[in-house]
């Protein structure tokens, strides 16, 4: 009969099993939490991806940005327009590389309003080719998205 320490192979085997168990447990906790949050979100609030969009418009200065933002909100083309000052833009225009300081509008609206928004911006913007781009909102704070729907009619 031999009494002593376990073999190196036995210790390594147990260490590997313990590490594997720890990693799988951590992964399962993360997975269950994620699934639980999604289930809660689906049960408490439903949102159809793409119902709302964030649109972006660059302006040459604060005055143009404020005038456009106010006109957009007054006409209920968007619920909110953030005015982000002093962005640096580098672009090609008429065969030359240009660099300008601009003001960025970040516009939150219904996706169905993007064509009307683009028409308004093109009609009231000093640029020959005004930037109006939009991306659909996939997810967000349900009360905020509901607020956009409440403010901006269909």
pLDDT at 49: 79
12 or 116, higher pLDDT? 116
Task: Write out the two tokens for 68.
Answer: 């456009």
Give the count of beta carbons closer than 10 Å to the beta carbon of residue 45: 12
Q: How far apart are CA 79 and CA 71, in angstroms?
A: 11
Q: Give yes or no for residue 117 having a pLDDT over 80.
A: yes
- The residue ranges of every structural domain in the chain are 9-44, 52-151
Q: What is the CATH number of domain 52-151?
A: 3.30.70.120
pLDDT at 6: 63
User: At 72, is the pLDDT very low, low, confident or very high (cuts 50, 70, 90)?
Assistant: very high
pLDDT at 143: 93
Q: Mean pLDDT in the chain?
A: 85
Going by C-beta distance under 8 Å and a sequence separation of 6 or more, which residues neighbour residue 124? 67, 68, 71
Angle at 49 (CA atoms; ends 43, 54), nearest 5 degrees: 130
Q: How far apart are CA 40 and CA 32, in angstroms?
A: 12
Centroid of chain to Cα 71: 24
pLDDT at 31: 66
Output b/e per residue, 131-146; b: 16+ Cβ within 10 A: bbebeebeebeeeebe
């Amino acid at each position: 009969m031999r009494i002593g320490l376990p073999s190196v192979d036995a210790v390594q085997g147990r260490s590997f099993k313990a590490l594997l168990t720890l990693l799988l447990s951590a992964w399962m906790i993360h997975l269950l939490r994620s699934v639980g949050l999604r289930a809660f979100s689906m049960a408490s609030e439903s949102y159809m991806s793409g119902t709302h969009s964030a649109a972006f418009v660059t302006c040459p200065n604060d005055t143009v940005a404020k005038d456009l933002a106010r006109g957009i909100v007054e006409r209920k083309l968007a619920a909110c327009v953030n005015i982000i000052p002093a962005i640096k833009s580098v672009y090609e225009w008429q065969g030359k590389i240009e660099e300008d300081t601009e003001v960025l509008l970040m516009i939150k609206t219904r996706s169905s309003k993007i064509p009307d928004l683009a028409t308004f911006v093109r009609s009231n913007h000093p640029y020959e080719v005004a930037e109006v781009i939009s991306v659909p909102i996939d997810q967000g704070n349900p009360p905020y998205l509901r607020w956009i729907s409440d403010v901006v009619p269909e």
